[in-house]
Amino acid sequence: MFGLREKAGMSQAVISKEDAERIIYEASKDSPFFKAQQRKEEELKARCAHVVRRAESLLPVEKSGAIRHAEREVKSLLSTLAKDVKGARCFIHIDMDAFFVQVEERDNPSLRGKPVVVGHPRSIISTSNYEARKYHVRSAMAGFIAKKLCPDLIFCELRMKAYAEVSRLSEQAYAAVDPGYEMHSLDEASLDATEYLARHPEMTADDVCEQIRAKVFELTQLTCSAGSGLSRLAAKIASDMRKPNGQFPIGRSVHAHVSFFDGLPLKKITGVGQVTERILAALGLVTCKDVRDQPHQLAVLPLASRDGLLRLSLGIDRPRQPVHRHSMGVERTVSATVNKESVWAFVEGLAGQLKSRLDAAGVAGETMCFKWKDDKFRSFTRQERMPQQTADRDKLLDAANRLLGKVLAETDNFTARLIGLQVTLGASCAEGERLKSTLVAQAGGVACPCCGRRFASEHDVDGHIEMSGCGLEKKPRTRAKAKAKAPKAKTKTELKERPVKRVGRAKRGQTSLKDFAPKTYNID
């Protein structure tokens, strides 16, 4: 049941996987967490059995339909990949080795060579170094269990500021290759090295990885690993292949790319979680190649999941779309059970944290959801729509308290091991402004009420009136007054029919309608 997931470095274990699983079982078998895991395991087994029964009862016509669909899809996906190769895409992924612990070892060299984790013995471990991984100690494991697996384990306190500082430093190395680099977390970066390689024809993707890793080390005295490939996904998976302090180039041909994915277990694919992996395994699909070789098995999956799986098994990135976040929340697992008396204060703290997150993102909440897990790790939620969208702490707290009051009234013996507040997001002022700009741009811009010239935003119209004195002869000077005298605004259709004239700042290239294209809205 506690199938230990592999993490880089675990293959050199000093205790066997079976022994580790037995120790974990002994240490946790009486805990509520274990019982919750048992219940989930039973549910998963039932789901797998259902999927297998469904696969066995597929009609020949369903199977052949799935095969035809998969063949078409794979062909089109492969042609996407081939097209990208013509453009010679090359992505690089960087991932720091045992990140948090490596920072601790750098700052306290006496830790080197010993099994170390960042975390607390009575809480959850953030990460372990490669010495500790030999004992199957890894991220997200309870500290007391880690101590049973490795009695000499050393625990270090979390120092987020230090890790963030290292992350900031290493970004210089990424920016030198791709100014548009993307940070996926504090320790992971994804780069498009295509243009850099075109500017440096003497270099290979592997040389660039080498160069970045050396620069990261120079800047931080920490090692990282790298991977390169035709897609961001391929590069990410490759970065894990030669960990720690190594790099793996998949190559820049479609053939090399497809061969790499052919032999890859599905569980290695980012996006295939433990549950999906188990369901696919029940269908006999273990490697990426299995997915393409046995497409009839996919007929039991919804069409979108089928296509997603085919795409992932070929290592092709999801099409990039702006991320619109619909909800935001905070939740805390608590080591000591929260009861009726202490829960009010706890929720008050969460409301403050939620407000900070909403403010940082410039958004407001619409519906409040109070969620909790009881001492048997069962999840519950209650929600209500707030009278109006808000990021105000007191109003958030009012809504949370109302829900909590109801929960306490219906529950005799309230206990919780996890408590969270979550809001669905409404458009805030900042987001509203962005949406407005987008709509304005789509409608062809804003017209000057005096001369009718068109601008990217109302702000630009103000600038134009100020700069050129447009409408002076007619008075008044300000846009507000000018607007009052202006002829009735044209309809959207009328506006669309007129060609957009770019003048003033827009013409000089300081502002263009392009600047108002929908922006990626990414929080976290």
The C-alpha angle with vertex 524 and arms to 94 and 322, in degrees rounded to 5, equals 85
Nearer to Mg ion, 91 or 99 (CB): 99
DSSP class of residue 185 equals E
Q: Considering only residues 28, 127, 228, 313, which one is a binding residue for ligand TTP as defined by CB under 6 A?
A: 127
The yes or no reply on residue 187 touching Mg ion (CB under 5 A) is yes
Nearer to ligand TTP, 138 or 257 (CB): 138
Nearer to ligand TTP, 96 or 197 (CB): 96
- Name which of residues 99 to 158 contact Mg ion (CB under 5 A): 99
Residues present in the chain in total? 524
Binding marks (x or -) toward ligand TTP, 159..198, rule CB under 6 A?
A: ----------------------------x-----------
Q: How many residues line the site for Mg ion (CB under 5 A)? A: 4
For the chain, how are helix, strand and coil distributed in percent, rounded to 5? Answer: 50, 15, 35
Beta partners for residue 333, in sequence order: 418
Tell me which stretch binds Mg ion (CB under 5 A): 21-29, 94-102, 214-222, 256-264. 94-102
DSSP class of residue 27 equals H
Q: Considering only residues 95, 178, 277, 460, which one is a binding residue for Mg ion as defined by CB under 5 A?
A: 95
CA distance 352 to 330: 10
Least distance from ligand TTP to the Cβ atom of residue 133, Å: 8
Least distance from Mg ion to the Cβ atom of residue 187, Å: 5
Least distance from ligand TTP to the Cβ atom of residue 163, Å: 8
Q: Which of 165, 182, 188, 458 is catalytic?
A: 188
Tell me which stretch binds ligand TTP (CB under 6 A): 76-84, 85-93, 94-102, 209-217. 94-102
**What is the CB neighbour count within 10 angstroms for residue 444?**
18
* Alpha-carbon dihedral sign for residues 301, 304, 307, 313: negative
The yes or no reply on residue 99 touching ligand TTP (CB under 6 A) is yes
Q: Considering only residues 73, 84, 97, 131, which one is a binding residue for ligand TTP as defined by CB under 6 A?
A: 97
The yes or no reply on residue 131 touching ligand TTP (CB under 6 A) is no
Tell me which stretch binds Mg ion (CB under 5 A): 89-97, 194-202, 280-288, 500-508. 89-97
SS3 508: coil
Tell me which stretch binds ligand TTP (CB under 6 A): 25-33, 97-105, 206-214, 482-490. 97-105
167-186: b or e for each residue (b if 16 or more CB lie within 10 Å)? beebeebbeebbeebeeeeb
SS3 436: helix
Least distance from Mg ion to the Cβ atom of residue 317, Å: 20
Nearest to 116 by CA among 248, 9, 243, 188: 9
In one letter, which amino acid is 490?
K
Least distance from ligand TTP to the Cβ atom of residue 246, Å: 10
CA distance 359 to 356: 5
Least distance from ligand TTP to the Cβ atom of residue 248, Å: 14
Q: Considering only residues 98, 145, 269, 470, which one is a binding residue for ligand TTP as defined by CB under 6 A?
A: 98
The yes or no reply on residue 81 touching ligand TTP (CB under 6 A) is no
Nearer to Mg ion, 107 or 466 (CB): 107
Residue 368's alpha-carbon distances to 327, 341, 395, 397, in angstroms, are 10, 22, 10, 10
Contact partner, 140, from ligand TTP, Mg ion, none, Cβ < 5-8 Å per class: ligand TTP
> 389 — phi, psi (to 5°)?
-60, 135
Nearer to ligand TTP, 156 or 461 (CB): 156
The yes or no reply on residue 95 touching ligand TTP (CB under 6 A) is yes
CA distance 296 to 364: 46
CA distance 120 to 5: 21
SS3 191: strand
In this structure, what token pair is assigned to residue 398?
């009012």
- Name which of residues 30 to 69 contact ligand TTP (CB under 6 A): none
DSSP class of residue 459 equals H
The yes or no reply on residue 84 touching Mg ion (CB under 5 A) is no
Q: Considering only residues 32, 65, 121, 244, which one is a binding residue for ligand TTP as defined by CB under 6 A?
A: 244
DSSP string, 301-363: S-HHHHHHHHHHHTTPPPPP------EEEEEEEEEEEEETTTHHHHHHHHHHHHHHHHHHHT-
Catalytic, 188? Answer yes
The yes or no reply on residue 100 touching ligand TTP (CB under 6 A) is yes
Binding site for Mg ion (CB under 5 A): 95-96, 99, 187
Active site members? 188
Binding site for ligand TTP (CB under 6 A): 7-8, 95-100, 126-127, 139-140, 187, 243-244
